[in-house]
Amino acid sequence: MNIRYIQSKKILTPQKGGFLTEGEYPFTHTLSWAIGCGFGSIYCGKYCYAQKIPNWYYSREEGEEWGDALIIKENAPDLLQKQLSNARTRQSMRIFMSSVTDPYQPIERKIRMTRRCLEVFQKFDDLDLLVIQTRAPSVTDDLALIADIPYAWLSMTIETDRYDLPYGPSKAHIEKRFDAVRQAVEAGVNTQITVSPCLPYSHDFATHLVESGAHRIVVDTFVLGDGTQGTRTENSPFADTVNYDWRDNSIAEQLYQQLRHKHANVTWSSSGFVGILPRNQR
């Protein structure tokens, strides 16, 4: 993978529309300390909508494909400190980390960029919400730190419990992610699972999700979740080779209905992602 470092001018991106604002409690900002993704060469990179957005397209070098490069904003923690210090409406800030690049990239254990950003958040106790969205079990490195940020939520992606799917996770990775959720709950971290996008699953998937102890569960689909009613997914390598109908929302809808009978806080697609109550109501 090609690793490059840049100096960025800002790290918090205001949200003026789109998936993370389509609900009762919208996010005000996103935070990503990198462009590209170190997971882009594995199964999720084949359908990841982020490979189609301008931020990556215009930052890549000639010949680079999604998963070939990671462009790191090396001044991200300093920028975050400055922006939060200067924010006049910090109490209403709802930050999603991250909508594009997973904050627990494979390189995170070397450079600790997410940890350094979390250490900045730890200094400010008055924000409304910080969601840390990841598929990486290495988030367990920072559970004590996350637990010390009173408005922080860990959001772990677990798309399926099946490991026999083309373009699907391995058995070991599924088990590690479930274990990370259990560890987070035990550490006192507010924790949700996002089944996003929902892949075909086993008969026991709903039970596995509930037994993890997650406080919230969000179920999403390819069509609803890629922000373009499936157009981005349709133009991905995934769509050309997968052996099931990825446009079939009923796969996710059936799981959602199963979970509603088993769990008190199950939500759907964008309304679920933006459904965490304001801090003064939680």
Tell me the per-residue pLDDT of 242-257, one tens digit each, with 9 for 90 and over.
Answer: 778 888 899 999 999 9
What domains lie within the chain, and their CATH numbers? 2-275 (3.80.30.30)
Residues 62-113 have pLDDT tens digits of 888 878 899 999 999 999 999 999 999 999 999 999 988 999 999 999 999 9
C-alpha torsion sign, points 90, 87, 140, 145: negative
Question: Is the per-residue pLDDT at 49 higher than 70?
Answer: no
Q: Take residue 146 and report the two structure tokens written for it.
A: 């996350």
What is the H or E stretch that residue 144 is in? helix 143-147
Question: Is the per-residue pLDDT at 25 higher than 70?
Answer: yes
pLDDT at position 57: 62
Which residues in 167-203 are b (16+ Cβ under 10 Å) and which e? bbbeeebbeebbebbbbbbeeebbbbbbbbbbbbbee
Q: What letter would DSSP give residue 56?
A: H
Indicate the pLDDT class of residue 272, thresholds 50, 70 and 90.
very high
Model-level pTM greater than 0.75?
A: yes
Dist CA 83 CA 77 (whole Å):
10
- Whole-number Cα distances in Å, 186 to 157, 179, 191: 18, 11, 10
Residues 116-173 have pLDDT tens digits of 999 999 999 999 999 999 999 999 999 999 999 999 999 999 999 999 987 789 999 9
- Helix then strand count (H, E) for the chain reads 13, 11
The percentage of residues in the chain with a pLDDT greater than 70, rounded to a whole number, is 94
Question: Is the per-residue pLDDT at 196 higher than 80?
Answer: yes
